[in-house]
Amino acid sequence: MDLAQVWRSVRPYLAMIFLQFGYAGMFIVSVASLKRGMSHYVLVVYRNAVAAAIIGPFALWFERKGRPKLTVRIFLKIMALALLEPVLDQNFYYLGTKYTSASFSSALYNVLPAMTFINAIILRMEKIDIKKRQSQAKIVGTLVTVLGALVMILYKGPIVEFIWNKGRNHHTESASQDETHWLIGTFMLLFSCFCWSLFFILQSNTLKSYPAELSLSTLICIMGTLLASSVAAILDPGVKPWIIGFDTRLVAAVYSGIMCTGIAYYLQAVVMKERGPVFVTAFNPLCMIIVSVMGSIILAEEITLGRLIGAIVIVIGLYSLIWGKCKDYANQTSKIDEKQALELPKTINDDMISNSIDYVTIENISSGKKP
């Protein structure tokens, strides 16, 4: 295996790991801005507007020749994508995180691959053969992931202290220490996760008929900005929520727009075309680890025993699911290689000959040697 083949094989993994570090920063920055009183409705609008402004020029330049025609069917899919992710997912995520904490929301979001897997089965995008080991691993991994999420929700336990936060005063898990708010925030996060899983599946389907990742990402951000602006104008009226200064609120809007919307949409689309939506969502545990450490250091958030146990259970189930997906991909790749090996070489037709530079050169040389 040469260096180019090694790079092609590890490129999807590196892209997803890079995104998890980007998402971890977004979890911390967004919570800090929300605690400063920023409206999450306005944050969603600014986030998508920044993303559209950043990736729009790249889409216009790099895909100016190969961009497919925008049909009514594709436009409706883009509207649905904008509703699912920028409007529903982001708003419910920010509100759920506000009621809970950054580290809890990042840990709970590890149910995303299992939720995507279930939705993919329902929509017949994922095939299951109960007799095969990889299918059994995916089913067991999904059930274990759900079990871990239930542990996190139902069991709190004592606070776990680490070296970096030992003896520090922790912030409370929710602003009012109200268990009702905590439970509402948890269900908001789960609904946000559900919308995001549907977004991945619909994005994967849309890329088949509109294979222009940059243009698709730009259109989703533009439509998301328009829809989110309407929601913000209705639910949070007035001019005051839209005014932000040079502080964490501006950083949250710019950072999340560039990193977690613009770059994320593009990289997810590229990797999704090769590996599918379940693979893209399978790297969330890395984000959870980063956010838990950063959240306890920067935001002084508490980490409870229930969250720790639930997160470990989720990771075990998640990597069982990943193992099954990797086996599926390996089998699919081997079948494609076998099919290509069995195919006979194509014959050269007249059109190929007439358009071949090599053929023209040979013909001219041979004709010049004729007596």
Note the Cα 244 to chain centre separation in Å.
27
Q: Is the pLDDT of residue 203 over 80?
A: yes
Per-residue confidence (pLDDT) for residue 133, from 0 to 100: 84
What is the rounded average pLDDT of the residues 140-154? 81
Comparing CA positions, the residue from 130, 104, 9 lying closest to residue 307 is 104
Structure confidence at residue 322 (pLDDT): 75
Cα(263)–Cα(26) distance, rounded to whole angstroms?
13
> What mean pLDDT comes out for the span 207-234?
91
Higher pLDDT, 186 or 366: 186
- Predicted structure pTM score: 0.72
Residues 6+ apart with CB under 8 A from 245: none
Q: Which residue has the higher pLDDT, 194 or 35?
A: 194
Percent of the chain residues topping a pLDDT of 90 = 16
Q: How far apart, in whole angstroms, are the C-alpha atoms of residue 71 and residue 286?
A: 38
DSSP per residue, 131-183? TSHHHHHHHHHHHHHHHHHHHHHH---SBPP-GGGTTPPPBPSSTT--HHHHH
Q: How far is CA 306 from CA 108, 150, 163, 289, 294, in A?
A: 12, 10, 19, 15, 19
182 with 99: CB under 8 angstroms?
yes
Ranking 32-46, 177-191, 289-303, 337-351 by mean pLDDT, the lowest is 337-351
DSSP percent split of the chain into helix, strand, coil, nearest 5: 80, 0, 20
What pLDDT shows up at residue 167?
55
Residue 176, pLDDT above cutoff 60: no
pLDDT at site 241: 85
Q: What is the pLDDT of residue 49?
A: 92
pLDDT tens per residue, range 90-116:
899 888 888 887 777 877 777 887 788
Closest residue by Cα to residue 291 from 6, 4, 91, 32? 32
What pLDDT does residue 165 have? 55
CA 198 vs. chain centroid, Å, equals 11
Query: How far apart are the C-alpha atoms of 18 and 267, rounded to whole Å?
Result: 10
pLDDT score at 76: 95
Q: Higher-confidence residue: 284 or 51?
A: 51
- Cα separation, 352 vs 8, whole angstroms: 30
60's CB contacts (< 8 A; 6+ apart) are none
- At 253, the pLDDT band (50, 70, 90 cuts) reads confident
pLDDT in tens, 239-251: 888 888 777 888 8
Average pLDDT of the segment spanning 197-223: 90
Higher pLDDT, 238 or 45: 45
pLDDT of residue 339: 61
Ranking 62-71, 194-203, 242-251 by mean pLDDT, the lowest is: 242-251
pLDDT at 173 (0 to 100): 45
pLDDT > 70 fraction of the chain, expressed in percent and rounded: 79
Query: Is the Cα dihedral 103, 236, 190, 264 positive or negative?
Result: negative
Q: In this structure, what DSSP letter does residue 65 have?
A: T
Per-residue pLDDT of 113-128, as tens digits, reads 778 888 888 887 777 7
Which helix (H) or strand (E) covers residue 15, if one does?
A: helix 3-35
pLDDT band at 192 (very low <50, low <70, confident <90, very high): very high
Cβ contact 280:287 at 8 Å: no
Q: Is the pLDDT of residue 199 over 80?
A: yes
Q: Is the pLDDT of residue 191 over 90?
A: yes
Residue 168 vs residue 277, higher pLDDT: 277
Arithmetic mean of pLDDT, 135-160: 81
**What CA–CA distance (Å, rounded) separates 185 from 92?**
9
Rounded Cα distance between 92 and 40, Å, is 9
- Which residue from 236, 204, 227, 271 is spatially nearest to 84, judged by alpha carbons? 227
Mean pLDDT of the chain: 78
